[in-house]
Chain A
Amino acid sequence: MTIRNKTAIVGVGAMPYYKRGASLPQTLNELVCKSIIAAVEDAGLSMKDVDGFAFYSGGFDTPYLMETLGIPEVSYTATLTGSGGGSAGSIGLASSAIVSGMAKVVVCVGALQQAQQRFGAITSGYEQTSETAFFQSSGLVGPGHMFALLARRHMHMYGTTREQFAEVAMSGRLNAINHPDAIMRKPMTLEDYFNAPVIADPLCLFDFCLETDGAIAMVVTSTEQAKDLRQPPVKIVACAHGGSRDWGRSLYWMNMPEEAFVSSGNVAIANRLYRDADVTPADIDVAQIYDHFTPMVLAQLEDFGFCERGEGGPFVESGAIRFEGGSLPINTDGGQLSGAYVWGMTHVREAVAQIRGSAVNQVQSCDLALVTGGPSSLPVSGLILGK
């Protein structure tokens, strides 16, 4: 049994994207509630219809949301564990609740306000423990420092270049230029990229995703009920979370076997998604690839089978990921590098827009959209949406 096509995303509510801290004086809960109200309205449902919540990561309080929004009763409230890889997977929690009969209308939320804690230094904010001592002793105080270690090994093994990282950044920026919600809309040349400060060699400023505030809510219900609602349903074709022990705690561990070390930890997710959806990489029309750091986009393109292991660099260099003329347009809203970073929920939002046919950079004949979450420590996750 799978969840294939049994549930659908029927409503989306997104707040404007803000530069880090610029969403103040609104509170995070206020942003979340605004996005939920907008998503329920978009679906053509009433707040009283909501009977479940599925979140990714911390910071959400179901009873507070019920109290504030007048939601009378919930029969499902769950959070996917982890710290980076799970927004796509939270949609699957909603699906599993609906398919199993535990809830009828589930809201998923991704939201972030970085006034207190910069994500660029988030690992330094972690409590020091006996486990973290093994990386904190070496001055790995930001996630960029850790991903730089993965990136350099990929370069060493496969000849991957900074020009290829730059292509990921420039391709995303081209898509952001057209997108009214994107934060970074100034054109970026290869020269601009190489003039940017190197923060964690080989990674420069433009290899890092943005630090932004935002809130995005999704309403998930059964495909049956979706037929009667306001928007064309966007079917959840497959969703997977979890991953292999070989990836495990990944950047907090660094003892992954080499095959996993140079990956994005998503091979197991890719295999399950394609199996459950009964599709191949060639069937995917557009992909929203979790782009917190450019090298991890290359590794994900490899893990999801769009090219061979080690070929991510040449693949992007060929123009394959460009909206204009690419065989696999990715991050068509500018992604997290140029659009906004909201725990990966921006990618789900953009995939929904592509399947609805309402995207700013609309891919023609878009029947299947892939969304990835992570890579970070497990769980990583992925999602395929369809018509």
Chain B
Amino acid sequence: MTNEIAKQPPHSLFELVTDPWTEPFWAAAREHRLTVARCTECSLLRMPPTPFCPGCLSQKLDWPTLSGRGTIYSYTIVSRAIFPGMEESLPYVPALVTLSDAPTIRLISNIVDVPISAISVGAEVRVVWNHLPDGVVVPRFTLAN
């Protein structure tokens, strides 16, 4: 299994729902721009985006463009289907990625397009953009080198 390539996760089990506070993240993704929510009052970053800054309770936000670089904080390898619709996506690798220019933030994402044996905690990764059949664009990561 370890020589197998990490695939995209099963998109049939995911349907994007947004609200006014989360939509800018997904809108940026459609432009291949990785971003996180930043409080314009105190600069605290937060993900997922919520209607208030937990530090100062401001509602003012901006969405800085990030480099798309990060490191793997943790990951798992899903190689068995527990639900119909998963089989063709196996194996896939859900991962937590610490963003290099937003180090207090972990994105829940996936490592894709690399041999599973090459994946490790602490490995450097860069963002890639997966286009789903319904037009949604999802940031995922692959090994940086």
| A interface residues with partner B (beta carbon < 8 Å) | 118, 120-121, 124, 128-142, 144-145, 148-150, 152-153, 156, 197-203, 245, 253-255
- 21 A-B pairs (CB sep. < 8 Å): A120-B82, A124-B83, A128-B14, A128-B17, A130-B17, A130-B19, A139-B78, A139-B94, A141-B13, A141-B82, A141-B83, A141-B86, A142-B82, A145-B78, A148-B76, A153-B121, A197-B80, A198-B79, A199-B79, A200-B77, A200-B78
Cβ-defined contact, B121 with A138, below 8 A: no
Q: Cα distance A130–B24 when bound, in Å?
A: 12
Q: Cα distance A120–B138 when bound, in Å?
A: 25
Counting chain A CB atoms within 10 Å of each CB, which of B77, B86, B105 scores highest?
B77
Q: How far is the CB of A248 from chain B (nearest CB, A)?
A: 10
A124 partner residues in chain B, CB cutoff 8 A: 13, 83
Interface size on B, residues (CB 8 A): 39
**Given A137-B16, A255-B106, 9 additional A-B pairs, CB 8 A:** A121-B83, A124-B13, A130-B18, A131-B48, A138-B109, A140-B108, A145-B94, A152-B76, A153-B73
B44 within 8 A of A: no
Closest residue of chain A to B138, judged by CB?
A: A137
Contact partner, A138, options B73, B82, B110, Cβ 8 Å: B110
Cβ-defined contact, B18 with A200, below 8 A: no
B31 within 8 A of A: no
Cβ-defined contact, B74 with A138, below 8 A: no
Cβ-defined contact, B16 with A133, below 8 A: yes
A131 partner residues in chain B, CB cutoff 8 A: 22, 48
B9 within 8 A of A: yes
Q: How far is the CB of A97 from chain B (nearest CB, A)?
A: 33
Q: A148-B76, A201-B77 are in contact. Are A139 and B89 (CB under 8 A)?
A: yes
A132 partner residues in chain B, CB cutoff 8 A: 17
A245 partner residues in chain B, CB cutoff 8 A: 54
Cβ-defined contact, A135 with B79, below 8 A: no
B75 partner residues in chain A, CB cutoff 8 A: 149, 152
A150 partner residues in chain B, CB cutoff 8 A: 74
Q: How far is the CB of B120 from chain A (nearest CB, A)?
A: 9
Q: A130-B18, A133-B17, A255-B106 are in contact. Are A139 and B48 (CB under 8 A)?
A: no
Mask, B87-112, CB within 8 Å of A = 1, is 00100101110000000011011100
